Amino acid sequence: MTADTVRPQPYAELGLTAAEYEKIVATLGRRPTDAELALYSVMWSEHCSYKSSKVHLRELAPAEPASAALLAGIGHNAGVVDIGQGYAVTFKIESHNHPSYVEPHQGAATGVGGIVRDILAMGARPVAVMDALRFGPAAAPDTGRVLPGVVSGISAYGNCLGLPNIGGELDFDACYAGNPLVNALCVGVMRHGDLQVAAAHGPGNQVILFGSTTGPDGVGGASVLASAAFGGSAAAGSGAAGEGAKRPSVQVGDPFMEKLLVECCLELFASGLVVGIQDLGAAGVACATTELAAAGTGGMRVRLDAVPLRDSSLGPPEILMSESQERMMAVVEPAKVARFLQVCAKWDVRAAVIGEVTGTGRLVMTWHGEVVVDIPPGSAADGPVYHRPLARPAAQDALVASAASGLPRPADGAALRADLLALIGSPGLADKSWVTDQYDRYVRGDTVLAMPEDGGLVRVDEVTGLGIALATDGNGRYCRLDPYLGTQLVLSEAYRNVAATGARPLAVTNCLNFGSPEDPAVMWQFAEAVRGLADGCAALGVPVTGGNVSFYNQTGTVAVHPTPVIGVLGVHNDVRLRVSIGFDAPGAELVLLGRTGAEFGGSAWAHVVHGHLGGRPPAPDLAAEQQLAGLLAMAAGAGLLAAAHDLSDGGLAVALAESCLRGGTGCRVRLPGDPFTALFSESAARAVVAVRPGATADFAALREACGVPGQTIGLAGGEALVVEDCFAIPLDELAAVHTAVLPALFG
């Protein structure tokens, strides 16, 4: 142990506060070594420790409805859900916002890689990915740098890894300039018995690090990149070089190695060679060793000099902090080590025994014989807990008072027509093929629905047709106006999107993107959003299985809109009965489901046409969402529906346009009441369905039985979107406006 007791320690440069440093000294009863200081600094970063969010996230657990479907919940690498027939599914969404701003291609690529390893560590085969992306104004020069890089990174990594990209989101808002949101979701499938644990049990068992070698990638990334506000000159830099030092600390991905690691791990699991397993993500070896030890027998001895390096100049602190990608750590019985190494060799995956489990209760690391770390692992794994002050922002009242109801409305059919074209020609609502054409949606051959459908749908069993549906949704505008209700609206939308495919919603994951937790206004938004999510999930009867928090999405004092992105997983009993959003059955009756009120606060219409954000968001109606979802799943199961599309951004107007374009068939509708409200209101718990010709009576009876209000508004058919007494838009014109936007912006 180093006997240096004089030199001041650089805890502040590593992102630790004086109080945190004192806590480390008190825990150890002495000054920490450099390696220990590095270890604590990354483990206690906001990114790894959830120190500001933990007290609020605890609300999600008690609010979890008892769900027989939940096999593993919050606290694991990812939650695991029973989908029947002996299958279990694990899914999670995670942010890679800050790295994606600094280096868009590698930042986004390694975001995919990281979430895939989380899923793999649960014992599952990853089967699909999704990405929820938010950028600054579409025409801003910096968006022209960030967006193409992010998309190419996701494309390069996900395609080479062989996972279909089945959906996600793309949106633009000035609040994300300088703070793009890049959230990646992965879903994996396993048999019930395949569940792996992230714990180092059994003294004498060997600890094996395998995958890529360890380099200087992302050293300091976990604590410095994810915790320091961009642009703040007082922000903690990575030690000596401050701002400039952030640039090279983004990790570089190797999707080929990740593909080998996936196949290698699955063969190791299938051969029963693994006692415990953990992926290496943020905080690398530091995190994997402390978490495995803390969750297991409690002790571990690690030889840091046994870690295979790609840069021989690295010392213990760098090795502990390195975020080199494509690495996993396994706990293996001594008698199985040889077979473990054989499987790794088959897949050309490098593996090294770096330590063993002990019963000492201490995590002890040596460097060429010298002890450089000797700590109780729980003290690093658990981290501090903060009750940050929170306060409803003073400007919130003025924001709510500025209602959208006062905005000038389109006066006639021509003006309604112009507003619809403005909406579907706005970057956030335009055709997203420019992005999704760069992703492989076909690989693995089980993709039944993908973008631009409401939800992605993947077949799990080729014989029975069992499948899983997934949707992610976020809406910063709603959440800015009311984070509690906004989060429930976002949850409702993802839930509804899954139901629209014909699936039964089962579980929830979330990625909570917010500004600085040191700002009481942001902390209030966060607390409200978490409370909204907890209450919403309880009401809908879907458990939260896990998630991720991303704070410090902020430039100076300006934070992004509070943007919880919610992923909902559903189960589809027979994917052959899936429902698309596309109108492709001429003569199918169109039925508008749900109740429509005059709700324009935070709407796409107010945003696109007037650049306005104010008032109250639409009122969520979770009971109505449940009834609607029940109806959609039953109607799909009975084969009554030719199409179904949820109503959200841009209301019925945008939904009809999207359904016409997707299926290549027009429609003719007559709208009840005020046509403007009918077209552009964003009331929740609504969908439009096309009922198969001949099934209208059956559907009406089912709708009545489910207690879902509905009215027939017209028929699918023709080559134009026709709103009687208002306007007609030929599909060619609709398509031209819809598809021209992103290519014009991004080439």
Partner 1 sequence: MRIGVITFPGSLDDRDAARAVRLAGAEPVALWHADKDLRGVDAVILPGGFSYGDYLRCGAIARFAPVLSELIPAARSGLPVLGICNGFQILCEAHLLPGALTRNAGLRFVTRDLRLRVENAATAWTRAFSGGQEIVVPLKSGEGCYAADPGTLASLEAAGQVVIRYAGANPNGSAGDVAGVCNAAGNVVGLMPHPEHAVDPLTGPSADGLGFFTSVFAGV
With beta carbons less than 8 A apart as the criterion, state whether 325 and 255 touch.
Answer: no
- Residue 456: CB atoms within 10 A of its CB come to 29
- The answer to whether 486 touches 681, Cβ cutoff 8 Å, is no
Question: Using the rule CB under 8 A, which residue among 230, 439, 699, 727 binds partner 1?
Answer: 439
Our finding on whether 152 is near partner 1 (CB under 8 A) is: yes
Phi, psi of 676 (to 5 degrees): -65, -50
Contact with partner 1 (CB under 8 A) among 200, 321, 343, 448: 448
Residue ranges in 219-258 that form contacts with partner 1 under rule CB under 8 A: 254-257
Any contact of residue 443 with partner 1 (CB under 8 A)?
Answer: yes
Residue of 56, 96, 607, 645 marked active site: 96
Name the one range near partner 1 by CB under 8 A: 437-445, 473-481, 555-563, 715-723. Answer: 437-445
Chain centroid, CA 488 distance in Å: 16
Question: Is residue 444 close enough to count as binding partner 1 by CB under 8 A?
Answer: yes
Burial of 181 (0-12, 13-18, 19+ CB in 10 A): buried
Measured distance CA(235)–CA(13) in Å, rounded: 9
How long, in residues, is the chain?
747
Q: Is 610 a catalytic residue?
A: no
Stretch that binds partner 1, among 83-91, 171-179, 290-298, 440-448 (CB under 8 A): 440-448
Does 674 bind partner 1 (CB under 8 A)? Our answer is: no
Is residue 325 a contact residue for partner 1 (CB under 8 A)? no
Taking the complex as a whole, the smallest distance from the CB of residue 450 to partner 1 amounts, in Å, to 10
| Residue 261: CB minimum distance to partner 1, A | 11
- Contact between 600 and 707 (Cβ < 8 Å): no
- The reply on whether position 453 binds partner 1 by CB under 8 A is no
Q: Please give the structure tokens belonging to residue 380.
A: 């690093």
Taking CB under 8 A as the criterion, the residue among 249, 436, 475, 739 binding partner 1 is 436
Query: Using the rule CB under 8 A, which residue among 155, 509, 513, 626 binds partner 1?
Result: 155
Query: Judged by CB under 8 A, does residue 477 bind partner 1?
Result: no
> Closest CB to partner 1 among 152 and 360?
152
Site for partner 1 in 254-273 (CB under 8 A): 254-257, 259-260
| 156 contributes a contact to partner 1 by CB under 8 A | yes
State the nearest-atom distance from the C-beta of 446 to partner 1, in Å: 6
Contacting residue, 338, 406, 442, 672, with partner 1 by CB under 8 A: 442
Nearer to partner 1, 446 or 682 (CB): 446
By CB under 8 A, tell whether 446 contacts partner 1: yes
Q: How far is the CB of 338 from partner 1 (least distance, A)?
A: 20
> For the stretch 682-697, what's the b/e string if a residue is b when 16 or more beta carbons lie within 10 angstroms of its beta carbon?
bbbbbbbbbbbeebee
Coil, helix or strand at residue 30: coil
d(CA 616, CA 602) in angstroms, rounded, equals: 7
Nearest approach in angstroms of CB 346 to partner 1 is: 8
3-state secondary structure 200-239: CCCCCCEEEEEECCECCCCCCHHHHHCCCCECCCCCCCCH
Nearest approach in angstroms of CB 716 to partner 1 is 20
d(CA 137, CA 176): 8
Give yes or no for a cis peptide into 452 (omega within 30° of 0). yes
645 is a catalytic site residue: no
Q: Which residue lies nearer to partner 1 by CB, 201 or 259? A: 259
Q: Which two tokens stand for residue 190?
A: 């396993």
Radius of gyration of the chain (CA): 26
DSSP-assigned letter for residue 175 = G
CA pair distance 244, 224, nearest whole angstrom: 12
> E strand or H helix at 277, and its extent?
strand 276-279
Q: For partner 1, what does the binding mask look like between residues 498 and 537, x meaning CB under 8 A?
A: ----------------------------------------
Residues that bind partner 1 (CB under 8 A): 152, 155-156, 159-160, 162, 254-257, 259-260, 347-348, 436-448, 459, 462, 575-576
Active site residues: 47, 96
